[in-house]
Amino acid sequence: MEFDLQLQGEDLLRMGNGNKAVKYVNELPWKGGTEDNPDYECLRAELRKMAPPNGRAVLFFRSKCGCPVAKLEGWGPKRGRRHKKSLAVTGGGERR
């Protein structure tokens, strides 16, 4: 069996199913039938290391003709959003 690796960044994933590449990956079945297959956890851990922040690394399993038959994906680390500090409104008196 042949395979192919694709890294998808945050900008590409924000477009959602409107993007052909994201829709294509989302429609493929998981390798092993379920996401929680323990046989693939080691491989998924390596994919997580390669994935960009807020993105994913997708491993495609291809048949001899080159058609993808399944996928295995690992999501990258979540980059936290910046929170703006709210300005505290104090009492109406003047400061001296």
Q: Which residues of 6-15 are buried (b: 16+ CB within 10 A; e: fewer)?
A: eebeeebbee
| Residue 49: band (very low, low, confident or very high) from pLDDT cuts 50, 70, 90 | very high
Average pLDDT over residues 76-88: 70
How far apart CA 20 and CA 82 sit, in angstroms, is 30
**Residue 71: inside a domain:** yes
* pLDDT for position 66: 84
Poorest-pLDDT segment among 7-11, 13-17, 27-31, 83-87: 83-87
Indicate the number of domains in the chain. Answer: 1
The range of the structural domain enclosing residue 38 comes to: 2-75
Q: Kindly state whether residue 84 falls inside one of the protein's structural domains.
A: no
Instruction: Give the pLDDT score at 73.
Output: 87
Amino acid at 73: E
Question: Is residue 10 one of the residues assigned to a domain?
Answer: yes
Which of 25-34, 38-47, 48-57 is most confident? 48-57
* Residue 27 pLDDT: 84
